[in-house]
């Protein structure tokens, strides 16, 4: 298939582009390199030393003979996006090109506004471009399980059957997002559903859980292909942070009681889920929703798993509870359905099988690059303005050159 990966320089996007290319698909990447610039502006960096995009693509071509086209630009620029889709004529569009951090969106007004404008406008541009230039293409959009929040009922896959006053209907599952970022994803979901309904577009909304791991078969081929490993309080995941803290002997910092429960999946399952969605497209006019995760854990359970894994490597580490900077339930019911991708052929990897190889050993290998100053949270949900650098929608030529050079 001809597949265009929006946000192909990011964590999920890079792994997905390589996986699809290795499977023989004709892959193109669209990226503005903004993700690298955000690291630069925040004064943080990925644990792993990732190369710039030209080096990555050159290494991939030399190792495999496969060529991936790269288009540099921002999808909030409609003319750029439209001309690129006209050139590529994709059969499937994988959309990762959004600001994906809840803490980033909660820094202050500027970051909240930037997140919603960037994400919602980018997706709206994509829907209009698809309608005009590739109406038969299939949109595979990365959503988030965070759209649902933590309701006191089972979470269905996108839709729920409601019976009210003697009448019955199938409606979108209620949304209870926990940040301005998650709100932007809810707006995306509504816009995508609307585009499918009125224009006959086809879309799969993948409500993804927390992704972990740096290792895929493709990335293991060479150091030049290594993926991101974010652990800072803005873009890092709690699992990554715990692994890094264990690697340097720092207590594992659990927010509140640690009962906050979420879905998790291995990066190898992420890329397979994308391929499954591409190979089994939605029908014209259909906006389907898959809950994309394989296991559920609480934060405290994750801390205990990391503590046990660290002990196997001869490292003792304590678990320390601290006040949560977020506005969230520290204990709650959580049972989310996630059968549709399994039914289509997903064979999951599990955290117990990959915690040492894909996480702890990577953390130990690069522990000299760890900045322990980014462990503690500085962004508090209750504050209207936290002490962080301002968000900027525009990228200057000098910043673009910096991102292209990979020095984020």
**What are the structural domains, with CATH classification, of the chain?**
2-378+396-405 (3.40.50.720)
User: Is 181 an active-site residue?
Assistant: yes
Pick from 342, 318, 343, 266: nearest CA to 297: 266
Q: Which pLDDT value is given to residue 357?
A: 85
pLDDT at 384: 80
Distance (Å, whole) CA 93 – CA 28: 10
* Residue numbers in the chain where pLDDT is lower than 50: 393, 407-408
CA–CA distance from 98 to each of 28, 52, 75, 122, 295 (Å)? 17, 19, 9, 8, 25
- Identify the pLDDT of residue 108: 96
Distance between start and end Cα atoms, the chain: 33
DSSP letter assigned to residue 155: B
Contact of 71 with 30, CB cutoff 8 Å: yes
- State the catalytic residue, choosing from 11, 104, 148, 181: 181
Which pairing describes strands 202-208 and 167-172: parallel, antiparallel, or unpaired? unpaired
* Catalytic site includes residue 340: no
pTM as predicted: 0.95
What are the Cα distances from residue 29, in Å, to 74, 77, 139, 333? Answer: 12, 16, 15, 39
Do 28 and 4 meet the contact criterion of CB atoms below 8 Å apart? yes
Active-site residue among 16, 46, 123, 144?
A: 144
Selected catalytic residue, list 185, 204, 214, 270: 185
Contact 370, 244 (CB under 8 A): yes
Task: Write the pLDDT tens digit of every residue in 348-404.
Answer: 999 999 899 889 999 999 999 999 999 999 999 999 888 765 555 455 656 556 555
What is the spatial distance between Cα 196 and Cα 374, in angstroms, rounded to a whole number? 42
- CA atoms within 13 Å, Cβ hemisphere of 277: 30
161: region left, alpha or beta (phi > 0 left; psi from -120 to 50 alpha): beta
Q: In the prediction, which pLDDT does 400 show?
A: 59
**pLDDT value at residue 358:** 85
Distances (CA, A) of 137 to 7, 160, 282: 18, 27, 10
DSSP, res 385: B
pLDDT at site 230: 98
CA atoms of 228 and 233, how far apart (whole Å): 15
What is the model's pLDDT at position 396?
A: 60
Beta-carbon contacts of 388 under 8 Å, excluding residues fewer than 6 positions away, are 42, 107, 108, 111, 378, 379
Q: What is the spatial distance between Cα 123 and Cα 62, in angstroms, rounded to a whole number?
A: 34
Q: Is 144 a catalytic residue?
A: yes
Strand partners, 28: 4, 69
Give the model's pLDDT for residue 408: 36
pLDDT for position 200: 98
Cβ(51)–Cβ(224) under 8 Å?
A: yes
Are residues 181 and 102 in contact, defined by beta-carbon separation less than 8 angstroms?
A: yes
Q: Which secondary structure element, helix H or strand E, spans residue 48, and what is its range? A: none
Which single residue is written with the structure tokens 């903004």? 34
Helix (H, G, I), strand (E, B) or coil at 353: helix
Structure tokens at 245: 């803290």
Contact (Cβ atoms closer than 8 angstroms) between residue 219 and residue 229:
no
Separation in Å, CA 134 to CA 192, 199, 284: 15, 12, 12
């Amino acid at each position: 298939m001809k597949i265009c990966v929006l946000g192909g320089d990011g964590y999920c996007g890079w792994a997905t582009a390589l996986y699809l290319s290795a499977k023989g698909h004709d892959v193109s990447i669209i990226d503005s390199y903004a993700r690298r610039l955000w690291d630069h502006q925040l004064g943080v960096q990925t644990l792993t030393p990732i190369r710039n995009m030209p080096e990555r693509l050159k290494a991939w071509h030399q190792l495999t003979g496969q060529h991936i086209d790269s288009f540099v630009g921002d999808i909030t620029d409609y003319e750029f996006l439209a001309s690129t889709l006209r050139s590529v004529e994709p059969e499937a569009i994988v959309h990762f090109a959004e600001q994906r951090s809840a803490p980033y969106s909660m820094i202050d007004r500027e970051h909240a506004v930037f997140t919603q404008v960037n994400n919602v406008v980018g997706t709206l541009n994509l829907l209009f471009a698809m309608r005009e230039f590739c109406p038969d293409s299939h949109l595979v959009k990365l959503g988030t399980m965070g759209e649902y929040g933590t309701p006191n009922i089972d979470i269905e896959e996108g839709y729920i059957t409601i019976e009210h006053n003697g009448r019955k209907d199938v409606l979108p599952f209620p949304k209870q997002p926990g940040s301005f970022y998650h709100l932007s994803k809810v707006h995306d979901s509504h816009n995508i559903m609307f585009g499918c309904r009125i224009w006959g577009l086809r879309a799969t909304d993948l409500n993804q859980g927390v992704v972990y791991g740096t290792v895929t078969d493709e990335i293991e081929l060479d150091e030049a292909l290594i993926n991101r490993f974010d652990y800072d309080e803005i873009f890092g995941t709690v699992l990554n942070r715990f692994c890094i803290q264990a690697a340097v002997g720092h207590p594992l910092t659990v927010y509140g009681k640690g009962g906050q429960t979420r879905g998790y999946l291995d990066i190898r399952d992420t890329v397979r889920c994308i391929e499954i969605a591409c190979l089994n497209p939605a029908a014209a006019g259909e906006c389907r929703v898959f809950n994309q995760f394989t296991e559920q854990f609480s934060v405290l359970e994750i801390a205990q798993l990391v503590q046990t894994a660290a002990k196997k490597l001869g490292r003792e580490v304590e678990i320390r509870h601290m006040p949560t900077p977020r506005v969230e339930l520290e204990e709650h019911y959580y049972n989310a359905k996630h059968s549709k991708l399994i039914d289509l052929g997903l064979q999951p990897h599990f955290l117990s099988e990959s915690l040492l190889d894909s996480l702890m050993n990577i953390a130990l290998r690069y522990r000299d690059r760890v900045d322990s100053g980014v462990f503690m949270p500085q962004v508090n949900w209750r504050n209207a303005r936290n002490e962080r650098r301002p968000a900027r929608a525009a990228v200057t030529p000098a910043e673009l050159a910096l991102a292209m050079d990979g020095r984020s």
